[in-house]
Amino acid sequence: MKIEEVQSTTKKQRVASHTHIKGLGLKEDGTAMDVAAGFVGQEQAREAAGLVVDMIRQKKMAGRALLLAGAPGTGKTALALGIAQELGSKVPFCPMVGSEVYSSEVKKTEVLMENFRRAIGLRIKENKEVYEGEVTELSPEETESTTGGYGKSISHVVIGLKTVKGTKQLKLDPTIYDALMKEKVLVGDVIYIEANSGAVKRVGRSDAFATEFDLEAEEYVPLPKGEVHKKKEIVQDVTLHDLDAANARPQGGQDILSMMGQMMKPRKTEITDKLRQEINKVVNRYIDQGVAELVPGVLFVDEVHMLDMECFTYLNRALESSLAPIVVFATNRGICHIKGTDISSPHGIPVDLLDRLVIIRTLPYTPAEMIQILAIRATVESLSVDEESLAYLGEIGERTSLRHAVQLLTPASIVAKTNGREQISKGDLEDIATLFLDAKASARLLQEQPDKYVSQ
């Protein structure tokens, strides 16, 4: 008799390079713990980043920027993600790479400004009259079509809503029925309907229908409290780029010509400065009225040495704007030429922009720290590794790089499973290390045996 366990259809999170980073791992007094929130070592850099987080929360970081400088694989991107995790999911975090600005469709300054606007959030609060509850009945009433023919049209829809305090039956317009169908509302769903606009929002499935055997990737919510008809504060989080894009998109009609026009337009359209200025005026008016609150997020620009002088001069101006996010740059370069010029400068950044930056240095990891990081990565990837194998991987990491050592974990686990074992042994890692060359070994072979290694 064969018995198989049914796997849940809920999507698993993809394991990425920095999935293990959950924050900066600081104590209440701001000092760094040795191993916490996925971080190992880099105590000084984490404490400095913690101070930056405090400044961001107190809104004292506007117009300033942060530079993370250090060798490859010393945790610069991890620090930026740690800052984002500490600030919370409601604060926008927009990562980009310096080379992204070189596009054939859009000019460099436009790419930078678009990412600046993606990193600035706007929290809009509105008091609205709503009908909220669990749907107990959903029955559309049909009548003969007014346009002739054999079809029938919806004249109105009767919907029953239930809360903890009571129930109500509503008779709604057919347009609201269309909105209900778009949201895929079914009996048992918790919804709210705005009384003025007729907008419908599906909150989730009522938790009364939740069972331990349910395979749906569904969000279950409790039955709403209070009356069905109430005044509710609705909070919406949008970015300034969302507002730019929504206003730049032409609102064509439903006829064939307007639809064809929209299809033939290029996918990427540049948003004008004039439009942005108009949106800024509206945003400032909302802020003055107390309807909205500005949430400056974090713009993370990796490989900042890839930017050229035109981008740097634009960044100087953009950082002075009243609507500017917190910009975090990262680079692994020392003194080098500013891209497109013969001028040498620290980190390939002009001195006038460097003066605006607070610089945090990341240091190379020690072998012991590498072993701890590898153990965390093995846990995140659900791999079983013994202590001897971790020590051997630490040696490889010290000789080559931490990134290379982390890359060897997954192929070694496949070799172990092929040999009928769940746990990775030192022998598996030795086999993999001979198969996959690291950058230094590859460079050495190129120098020693250029003819055998690659074709000339």
| Residues 129 and 150 both lie in one domain | yes
| Residues 132 and 234 both lie in one domain | yes
| Residues 231 and 314 both lie in one domain | no
Answer with the one of 339, 362, 385 that is the final residue of a domain: 362
**Domain enclosing residue 448, as ranges:** 367-453
The tally of CA atoms less than 13 A away on the side-chain side of residue 105 is 8
- In this predicted structure, what is the pLDDT of residue 329? 92
Domain for residue 133, yes or no? yes
CATH code of the domain containing 186: 2.40.50.360
| Residues 394 and 309 both lie in one domain | no
Kindly state the tokens that stand for 279.
Answer: 């949106």
> For residues 456 and 187, what is the distance between their CA atoms, to the nearest angstrom?
70
Answer with the one of 362, 383, 418 that is the final residue of a domain: 362
- In this predicted structure, what is the pLDDT of residue 16? 66
- In this predicted structure, what is the pLDDT of residue 453? 60
CATH code of the domain containing 403: 1.10.8.60
Query: For the chain, what is the domain count?
Result: 3
| Residues 333 and 392 both lie in one domain | no
pLDDT per residue as tens digits for the range 86-95: 888 778 888 8
Answer with the one of 312, 333, 362 that is the final residue of a domain: 362
| Residues 95 and 147 both lie in one domain | no
Domain for residue 250, yes or no? no
Domain for residue 269, yes or no? no
Q: Nearest-CA neighbor of 47 among 60, 38, 34, 57?
A: 34
Write the CB contacts of 387 (distance below 8 Å, at least 6 apart in sequence).
none
| Residues 135 and 73 both lie in one domain | no
Is there a contact between 121 and 237 (Cβ–Cβ < 8 Å)? yes
| Residues 112 and 129 both lie in one domain | no
| Residues 129 and 234 both lie in one domain | yes
Q: Kindly report the three-state secondary structure assignment for every residue of the chain.
A: CCCCCCCCCCCCCCCCCCCCCCCCCECCCCCECCEECCEECCHHHHHHHHHHHHHHHCCCCCCCEEEEEECCCCCHHHHHHHHHHHHCCCCCEEEEEHHHHCCCCCCHHHHHHHHHHHCEEEEEEEEEEEEEEEEEEEEEEEEECCCCCCCEEEEEEEEEEECCCCEEEEEECHHHHHHHHHCCCCCCEEEEEECCCCCEEEEEEEHHHCCCCCCCCCCEECCCCCCCEEEEEEEEEEEHHHHHHHHHCCCCCCCHHHHHHHHHCCCCCCCCHHHHHHHHHHHHHHHHHCCEEEEECEEEEECHHHCEHHHHHHHHHHHCCCCCCEEEEEECCCEEECECCCCEEECCCCHHHHCCEEEEEECCCCHHHHHHHHHHHHHHCCCEECHHHHHHHHHHHHHCCHHHHHHCHHHHHHHHHHCCCCEECHHHHHHHHHHCCCHHHHHHHHHHCHHHHCCC
| Residues 324 and 352 both lie in one domain | yes
Return the sign of the alpha-carbon dihedral for residues 194, 198, 203, 205: positive
Is there a contact between 432 and 412 (Cβ–Cβ < 8 Å)? yes
CATH code of the domain containing 311: 3.40.50.300
Domain for residue 182, yes or no? yes
| Residues 168 and 194 both lie in one domain | yes
Domain for residue 272, yes or no? no
Q: What is the mean pLDDT of each run of 10 residues along the chain (456 residues)?
A: 51 61 83 82 87 81 80 86 84 88 83 88 82 86 66 78 86 82 85 81 81 60 83 81 79 47 52 84 87 85 91 87 84 89 90 88 87 86 85 85 84 86 85 79 76 60
| Residues 340 and 388 both lie in one domain | no
